Amino acid sequence: MGTAVRIRYLRATHAGGSVEVTADAPPAVDGRRLTFLVRAVDGSGELVATGEIDRAMVDRERFLTAVSDADGWRRAGRRPGHAGVCP
């Protein structure tokens, strides 16, 4: 699951020009977080942007269950853990 994107714009490209973007896998995993290094190179081979994409590894079934539960609460007009009554 994506958690953040940081891009450093370095230079413009020609209108209609091509840009190739690559992402390199992190050399090591730090718990459940991954940071991919990203590079964008234009058709003339010039570096036009660099950046990082942060992702978190999640348990798919647990995530889908949580999303489904939250969606049910929203349809009922309530929030999880909230009785729906103002003090």
pLDDT tens digits, one per residue of 8-24: 999 999 899 999 999 99
Given a contact cutoff of 8 angstroms between Cβ atoms, the answer to whether 39 and 50 are in contact is: yes
Spatial separation of the C-alpha atoms in residues 22 and 47, rounded to whole Å: 11
Which tens digit of pLDDT belongs to each residue from 21-59?
999 988 877 788 888 999 999 999 999 999 999 988 887
